[in-house]
């Protein structure tokens, strides 16, 4: 998450912000870079604020929750064909203690055209359990050929699709012909 600030002059009118200095009150929980990008480091709470020319901003409270799932690895074929499906596998671990239903989504676009591909898999994992989740990505016959960059994302089932992403993997390419 990246924080931004809106600066006001003494009359209350919006103005261009001078150089901002960002602060986190608990750098064990998270740090904030000069550009306002917050990096979560551990579960807990911290306060974020900025100052400009010695004048402090309002404070934003940030709560970082413990990771409940992680993506260990994932496999995506390097090629696919329009009108067929691609079978991918995402290995995830429920790092919590409770049994939870998860949705694994793999999606992405072709950079040149914006055409999209998406596939879903669901799994219930006991606390501490790891498993390969099969994800079938349908490749419609109408999509453009070329290279697509796809990325796996894991959600809690009850939060899908609008809720918080619990884990995000690295992007991989597949060439569609």
For residue range 30-64, list pLDDT tens digits in order: 999 999 999 988 889 999 999 988 888 889 999 98
Q: How confident is the model at residue 155 (pLDDT cuts 50, 70, 90)?
A: very high
Task: Check whether residue 49 and residue 100 sit in a common domain.
Answer: no
Instruction: Report the Cα 25 to chain-centroid distance in Å.
Output: 24
Q: Which of 38, 64, 90 is the last residue of a domain?
A: 64
The count of structural domains within the chain is 2
Residue 18 belongs to what domain range?
Answer: 7-64
Closest residue by Cα to residue 18 from 57, 47, 45? 57
Task: State the pLDDT at residue 60.
Answer: 93
Residue 25 confidence (pLDDT) above 90 = yes
Residue 121 lies in a domain: yes
Q: CA 108 to CA 38: how far, in whole Å?
A: 25
For residue range 59-94, list pLDDT tens digits in order: 999 998 888 999 999 999 999 999 999 999 999 999
Residue 1 lies in a domain: no
Task: Check whether residue 86 and residue 104 sit in a common domain.
Answer: yes
Tell me the pTM. 0.69
Asked whether 69 and 93 are in contact (CB, 8 A), the reply is: yes
Q: How confident is the model at residue 1 (pLDDT cuts 50, 70, 90)?
A: confident
Residue 161 lies in a domain: yes
Task: Check whether residue 94 and residue 48 sit in a common domain.
Answer: no
Task: Check whether residue 13 and residue 45 sit in a common domain.
Answer: yes
């Amino acid at each position: 998450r990246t924080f931004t600030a809106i600066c006001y002059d003494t009359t209350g009118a919006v103005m261009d912000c001078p150089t901002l200095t960002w602060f986190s009150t608990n750098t064990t929980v998270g740090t904030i870079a000069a550009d306002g990008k917050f990096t979560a480091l551990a579960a807990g709470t911290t306060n974020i604020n900025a100052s400009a020319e010695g004048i402090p901003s309002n404070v934003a409270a940030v709560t970082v929750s413990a990771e409940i799932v992680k993506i260990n690895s994932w496999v995506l074929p390097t090629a696919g064909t329009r009108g067929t499906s691609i079978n991918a596998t995402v290995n995830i671990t429920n790092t919590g203690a409770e049994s939870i239903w998860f949705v694994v989504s793999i999606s992405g676009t072709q950079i040149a055209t914006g055409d999209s591909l998406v596939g879903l898999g669901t799994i219930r994992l006991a606390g501490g359990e790891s498993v390969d989740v099969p994800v079938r990505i349908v490749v419609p016959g109408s999509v453009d050929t070329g290279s697509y960059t796809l990325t796996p994302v894991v959600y809690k089932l009850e939060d899908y699709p609008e809720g918080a992403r619990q884990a995000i993997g690295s992007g991989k390419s597949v060439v569609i012909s």
